[in-house]
Amino acid sequence: MSSPLLRLIERNDWGEFQPMMDRLSRWEGWPLFLEKRKTLNRDALYQSPVHGYGHIERTMLHGAFCAMEEPLPGEDTALLLECCAYHDVGRSNDGPDQEHGHRSAARLEALTGRRGEELSMMMAAVDAHARPESALEPTLKRYHPADWARCLRLAQLLKDADGLDRVRIWDLDVKYLRREASRLREDFAEYLFIRYQREINASTTPPFPQELVEMLSARQDARNRVRNRTSYFHR
């Protein structure tokens, strides 16, 4: 089955975001991103319109931007992209579940073939992504990373990449993102989601009960007023 994201990339018509995508495509890590996206084990992913294939493809693209902006060395770019790919494989539902990261982490060795310190850092980051910010560092410490700064950076960038796709549930608040470069990609995250959903002929409305959709819509409208612009969702 073809990839909606790769089709969008091949079409190369990103409107006002074309300069961003041009810069990403010239980045030395771009071939690695394409490789990791093309070798993604789709069968291992949680099957869901909220946390499934589309979310994973977009999170991987956000992860590529995070790696470029940091910037990360090639080996850490690969680790981040693999974390983005499999951070939700432990899910059993779309609701709040702080343990799904722990279950996902337990599957990383089989899915990625990683061993040793690299596997430990990936497991720590994936476990921590599902937990509140206050639990991030305590969670990482349970995996005893040899290079604390490297592990913390991986976990923070995974959280930002995952967080940017909260646009799909109309619940992105950029003040919770950890990098300024991530916060500046809010508009791109919305644009990417809308383009992706149109590519697969899917709705941009979260598949939630109507009362929750209304609450999220009101929250989003309030944020848009603060940002003083019209959201892509309402164009």
Per-domain boundaries in the chain: 4-206
166: pLDDT strictly greater than 90 = yes
Please check whether residue 84 is in contact with residue 158, taking contact to mean a CB–CB distance below 8 angstroms: yes
Calculate the alpha carbon distances from 48 to 28, 52, 62, 92, 152 in Å: 32, 4, 19, 10, 29
Which pLDDT score, from 0 to 100, does residue 226 have?
59
Question: What single-letter DSSP state applies at residue 48?
Answer: -
No. of H helices and E strands in the chain? 13, 0
How much is the pTM? 0.93
Least trusted range by pLDDT, from 11-15, 38-42, 92-96: 92-96
Question: 194 pLDDT band (50/70/90 cuts)?
Answer: very high
What is the per-residue pLDDT across 61-83, written as a single tens digit (0 to 9) for each?
A: 999 999 999 999 999 999 999 99
- Could you tell me what percent of the chain has a pLDDT over 90? 86
Separation of alpha carbons 230 and 84, rounded Å: 29
Does the pLDDT value for residue 132 go beyond 90?
Answer: yes
Residue carrying structure tokens 């810069």 = 23
pLDDT band, residue 225 (cuts 50/70/90): low
What the block records as the tokens of 189 is 């995250």
Query: What dotted CATH number matches 4-206?
Result: 1.10.3210
Residue 49 neighbours by CB under 8 Å, 6+ apart: 202, 207
What's the pLDDT tens digit per position in 82-115? 999 999 999 999 999 999 999 999 999 999 999 9
Amino acid symbol at 19: P
